[in-house]
Each structure stands twice: as C-alpha cells, then as structure tokens.
C-alpha cells in the first residue's frame, strides 16, 4: 500500500494521500474543512512532520520491493494451467 494517513491541522480529521505525492512543496486541501495544507520537510507542525516521515518510509519500502523484484530471477518454464501436467515425449510413435 503506497498511501499515507494525514491528519488535518485545523479540524483534526484523518484522510489518505499517495506517498509519491507527499514531497517538499506539495499542497493539499482537507476534504472536510477545505483548509489548504502545505507539506514541507522543515515544517514545525507535528502532523505534517509525521505525514512527511511516513511518506519517505513508504517510498523507500516501495523502491526496495521493486529492486528485489528486478533482482529475483524469473521462473523458467511457466505454463498455463492447461498445459501444467503435460510433458513432451522424446519419441513419438504413430
């Protein structure tokens, strides 16, 4: 899951946004009270700090997962279920 919980600084409601969006300079409107929240790395507000920290953590985990997928070898000989139990014999008798 690549989303992060954000707590509004005004109404204290919690909503979610994608971690990829939560970077320095991003702004988002609260869905309930419509106040504009500005996300910055050097923010003094604890709710903004927590959201930015969580977003960094989630982005890092996603990058590590993608790197692990690229490093893992693809399984050879994957077949559909239709051909799963069949093997080809070396000699065919007609």
Which residues, 6+ apart, have CB-to-CB distance to 81 below 8 Å? none
DSSP 44: -
Q: How confident is the model at residue 77 (pLDDT cuts 50, 70, 90)?
A: low
Asked if the model's pLDDT at residue 80 lies above 80, the reply is no
Work out the average pLDDT over 1-27: 94
Q: What is the model's pTM?
A: 0.71
What Cα–Cα distance (Å) separates residue 59 from each residue in 23, 55, 90, 94? 10, 6, 50, 60
The predicted structure's pLDDT at residue 72: 77
The predicted structure's pLDDT at residue 4: 96
The predicted structure's pLDDT at residue 14: 96
Asked if the model's pLDDT at residue 83 lies above 70, the reply is no
Q: How confident is the model at residue 71 (pLDDT cuts 50, 70, 90)?
A: confident
Asked if the model's pLDDT at residue 63 lies above 80, the reply is yes
The predicted structure's pLDDT at residue 75: 64
**Among 1, 34, 39, CA closest to 21:** 39
């Amino acid at each position: 899951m690549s989303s992060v919980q954000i707590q509004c600084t005004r109404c204290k409601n919690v909503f979610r946004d994608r971690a990829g969006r939560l970077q320095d300079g991003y702004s988002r409107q609260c869905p309930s009270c419509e106040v504009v929240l500005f996300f910055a790395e050097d923010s003094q507000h604890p709710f903004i700090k927590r959201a930015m920290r969580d977003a960094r953590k989630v982005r890092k985990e996603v990058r590590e997962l993608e790197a692990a997928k690229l490093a893992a070898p693809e399984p050879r000989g994957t077949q559909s279920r239709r051909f799963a139990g069949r093997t080809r014999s070396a000699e065919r008798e007609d």
